[in-house]
Structure 1
Amino acid sequence: MNKEDTPLGEFQETLHEATELLSYPAEVFHFLKNPMRFFEVSIPVQMDDGETKIFQGYRAQHNDACGPTKGGIRFHPDVTPEEVKALSGWMSLKCGINHLPYGGAKGGIICDPRNLSSNELQRLSRGYVRAISQFVGPTKDIPAPDMYTNAQIMGWMLDEYNHICEYGAPGFITGKPLVLGGSKGRETATSKGVLYILQLVCEQQNLNIQDMRVIIQGFGNVGSYLAQYLYDLGAKIVGIADAKGAIYDSAGIDIPYLMENKDAYGVVSTLFRQTMTNEELLEQECDVLIPAAIGGVITSENADRLKCRFIVEAANGPTTKEAIELLDKEGIQVVPDVLANSGGVIVSYFEWCQNLQGYYWTEELVDQRLKERLTESFNDLMEIVSEYGVNMKVAAYILGTKRLAEASHSRGWININE
């Protein structure tokens, strides 16, 4: 079985461990290790110079036993089928851990939005929806923003879907502009969720966030808001990274200055003369290391060089299974992505509920319910850690897999009893 070579191999390996700990028959693992459906689409887009370029897109629907599938769409040059499949599986686990009536999904397009004009980006977004429109919808599969996509792109996609279906369906997509039925608190939901989980970990370990030294690898939507929240609470942000480099200052970084001067893609390292690589930043001394960018950045090759007390995974799949095993031996706890960054899908669920009801909540109510949901999920996960004697990553897989398997069993698809 694959180990550190693909995200899908990472997902499958820990899933296999979870199903064995749950004493499930082998059929459960074989049913859940791949998405139930996977689409590959070709999207013709007329570029501004008149040329038509063909973009490759994907959509994976992992499991719909608990309800419609749910998951973001990323625009990135390194999108692969394996990554999209793994992300859909991770999303299923997030929904299971947080008791959401969804299964997981994920989408992606191989492109670099930084090299596309606004008009080209809009035509690409609409073309993707046309390509998958027969397989998605408010009761089938509900997209959302992900890496390099945002509320505006969700607005274009909603409009295209409405044209195709010939009726208004705001619940088709989440993370959209407020004026189109978006939810207050959705843009900052993933960052708020990471913050709430970090606060719960600190409470459990009798730690104080004030003056805590934090490194955040990634300064996009998630990393930048999180940096501001932690800065406001008195934490010392000593390291920040973006797609072009990283900065480190043991005395602390002026986060409000970075927030005012970052570009549309969260790049701030170009503001400084002295920079380092992302890889070098990960190995600097801190209390909390928060990878908030891409997957697979902490591996068996660099795990023994980390100088942090614990890791909170704000990105999807930033730490490999082999790395976590090494970190366990060093006493460095890893708070898993499927819990830590699940604030986004939780508030997307809130947005979907608001769309179906036609009644919209205050931001205070959204935050309150997000914190309540994550606190319950954190406590559930820690009970699994104690019961099975495993790390938080494996416990999260056990918790998420259990709900998926039970729902699939109840539908008569698989048998979970030996």
Structure 2
Amino acid sequence: MSDLSYVNPGPESAWGTYLAQVDRVLPYLGSLSRWAETLKRPKRALIVDVPIEMDDGTVRHFEGYRVQHNLSRGPGKGGVRYHPDVTLEEVMALSAWMTVKNAAVNLPYGGAKGGIRVDPRSLTRKELERVTRRYTSEIGIIIGPQQDIPAPDVNTNSQVMAWMMDTYSVNVGATSTGVVTGKPLDLGGSLGRVKATGRGVFVTGREAARRLGLSLEGARIAVQGFGNVGSVAAELFAQAGARVVAVQDHSGTVYAPGGLDVGALQAHVRHTGGVAGWHGAEPLPAEQFWDVPCDILIPAALEGQITAERANRLHARLVLEGANGPTVPAADDVLRERNVLVVPDVICNAGGVTVSYFEWVQDFSSFFWTEDEINARLDKIVGDALATIWDRADLHRIPLRTAAFAVACERILSARQERGLYP
């Protein structure tokens, strides 16, 4: 990436969106604003070549990244995604949002993120394992239980984390379960981790709906993205009496104004890989998803999905950001003008990293909690964090996103100031 694009990214790029969000919070940082440039510059960015031998004997090269945005409050924490559109700029933005997210929930972490530019669906299982192990070896110089702890993200899962943990452990000569989170249970994983992000979306959404006076009983839900986050959030809202009326994923869009059978749709997706072709609802053209009548919208796919044009078309009263960076700044302005409440990603989808923190703590102590204990701790931490952010929003009469950034950036920059500069 050229220095010019680093300083002046496109306004609707992921990094450009993040920088605009930081600029909006500067008036609320007081004397700490002298350190604000810290927020705009990643501490460390690593680009690695990932060569592997394919099953047919050919050698292919993939490009991988690991970015540590800020480590002032603790070791880096953030997922690893496998996607054909992964770029350094995207990973920079995702790492920065992790810095803010961890501080907003008051976890003792900095922010990091990783990724490989690859379509994992084009790889066999053995090829996927080789890619994972080579990538882990390449970034091994900057990760570790006290340095930077990866986790699952888009197109990665507990099996990928198991390969990462094993590779790192072999390279350092000792089993190191705490180097990643989101692992299988028998390798030091935590109960409740798989559903944690979706549960966090539900917990924050339930509280936001209560404050808006919006009953979940019969409320219409539209979900973009039906993976680990969107499907779990949909399941929990349906259990609370809401109607999931529309779901969109990479394969298509399905719509049923009377409500979808979430369990049946989950089974269909497990069998076919996507929502397309499900007979329990009618298909819709992709762009019509944004016109579906609903009370709550859950964007749980990729960043940059809610543009200003789409924001003008939404029928929802409440937007719950299950994905990272799904709403561009211009769309934020439109939604505020239309009196649509947005619960921002840095608190709404923080359930996953919160239970990742629990997993990390359990690995260090070799003492594991029950799922009820996990869920109770998760609900309290996320609920308390949202209450603090809401109080800040009410105090300054600012959107929840700006309030979340204000709370988080105060914590980050206070740590930076107190640690000082060395040398």
> TM-score under structure 1 normalisation?
0.96
CA distance in 2, matches of 1:89, 1:149: 20
- In structure 2, the residue matched to 1:288 is 296
The answer as to whether partners of 1:282 and 1:289 remain within 8 angstroms in 2 is no
Per-residue CA distance 1:276-312 (angstroms, 9 max, x = gap): 2333112211000000111111111221111111111
1:21, distance to aligned residue in structure 2 (A): 2.3
**Using a 3 Å threshold, how does the CA distance of structure 1 residues 265 and 155 change in structure 2: closer, same or farther?**
farther
Secondary structure of the structure 2 residue equivalent to 1:275: strand
- In structure 2, the residue matched to 1:136 is 143
The range that moved more, 295-304 or 180-189, is: 295-304
The answer as to whether partners of 2:12 and 2:304 remain within 8 angstroms in 1 is no
CA distance in 2, matches of 1:265, 1:94: 33
Per-residue CA distance 1:56-85 (angstroms, 9 max, x = gap): 000110111111010000000111111100
CA distance in 1, matches of 2:414, 2:75: 16
**Using a 3 Å threshold, how does the CA distance of structure 1 residues 127 and 402 change in structure 2: closer, same or farther?**
same
Per-residue CA distance 1:239-260 (angstroms, 9 max, x = gap): 0011011011111111111111
Secondary structure of the structure 1 residue equivalent to 2:260: coil
Q: Map 1:1-400 to 2 at 5 A.
A: 2=9, 4-24=11-31, 27-263=34-270, 266-272=273-279, 274-400=282-408
Secondary structure of the structure 2 residue equivalent to 1:302: helix
Per-residue CA distance 1:140-188 (angstroms, 9 max, x = gap): 0000000000000000110000100000110000000000000000011
CA distance in 2, matches of 1:381, 1:52: 50
The range that moved more, 260-269 or 199-208, is: 260-269
Secondary structure of the structure 1 residue equivalent to 2:284: coil
Unmatched 5+ stretches in structure 1: none
CA distance in 2, matches of 1:52, 1:260: 37
1:275, distance to aligned residue in structure 2 (A): 1.7
CA distance in 2, matches of 1:352, 1:181: 9
Per-residue CA distance 1:107-162 (angstroms, 9 max, x = gap): 00000111111000000000110001111000000000000000000001100001
The answer as to whether partners of 1:57 and 1:108 remain within 8 angstroms in 2 is yes
CA distance in 1, matches of 2:240, 2:149: 34
The answer as to whether partners of 2:32 and 2:413 remain within 8 angstroms in 1 is no
1:336, distance to aligned residue in structure 2 (A): 0.2
- In structure 1, the residue matched to 2:420 is 412
**Using a 3 Å threshold, how does the CA distance of structure 1 residues 265 and 358 change in structure 2: closer, same or farther?**
farther
Secondary structure of the structure 2 residue equivalent to 1:142: strand
CA distance in 2, matches of 1:240, 1:194: 16
Letter in 1 for 2:54: M
**Using a 3 Å threshold, how does the CA distance of structure 1 residues 99 and 336 change in structure 2: closer, same or farther?**
same
> TM-score under structure 2 normalisation?
0.95
Letter in 2 for 1:92: T
Unmatched 5+ stretches in structure 2: 1-7
CA distance in 2, matches of 1:216, 1:176: 26
CA distance in 2, matches of 1:209, 1:138: 40
Letter in 2 for 1:361: W
CA distance in 1, matches of 2:373, 2:199: 13
CA distance in 2, matches of 1:216, 1:269: 14
Identity %: 40
Per-residue CA distance 1:1-25 (angstroms, 9 max, x = gap): 5563311111011112212321346
